[in-house]
Amino acid sequence: MTQKAKKALALEIIERLKQEYPDAGCTLDYDQAWKLLVSVRLAAQCTDARVNVVVEGLYEKYPSVAALAAADVNDIEEIVRPCGLGKSKARDISACMKILHEEYEDKVPDDFDALLKLPGVGRKSANLIMGDVFGKPAIVTDTHCIRLVNRMGLVDGIKEPKKVEMELWKIIPPEEGSDFCHRLVYHGRDVCTARTKPHCDQCCLEDICKKKM
């Protein structure tokens, strides 16, 4: 498929998913930027639903960046262990909060490269923060996104997150990227599922999806 054809397909998919999931947003609960930073680290190999439960206890005990930065890493680990990989996640969260406290006056930087330098923050997390917190162009290539854009024909057999992101930047309007990726999460859970056969008969993209053509 030509780049022009992929752009046209992308725009059609974006519009249809908007109709299907008008209110799609981040499925991690947060009311401050630093909390999203914590949650997205905990969400690695863990469901967002479980993260949302676990962080309640974490914020009850450590309600601010300063409090979490001063916390004993073993105490953090004890609380976040149900999310899996407790030791490495606790270490990253502790180190990240220390940097925010010492270098950024307890604020999350709104610069992509600065975010990438924070412990435990990769491109996926940085894009999520940029899009959801700061309203800047962002494309979050999580597992749903990578699986679905390959299935739909927007990328051709690419599985590496950064490469998928770079391909999507070429065809997705910058202002649509963040919401588009959130809608892919909903669509991937409800319709275009991974663990069962996709429910193509219920899909709003059935007639334009590469998998069906």
Which of the residues are catalytic?
124, 142
Phi, psi for 159 (deg, rounded to 5): -115, -15
DSSP assignment of 43-85 equals TTTS-HHHHHHHHHHHHHH--SHHHHHHS-HHHHHHHHGGGS-
* Helix ranges restricted to H, 85-122: 86-103, 112-116
Kindly calculate the radius of gyration of the chain based on its CA atoms and give it in whole angstroms: 18
| E strand or H helix that includes residue 108 | none
CA distances from 155 to 145, 172, 189, 205 (A): 11, 12, 20, 16
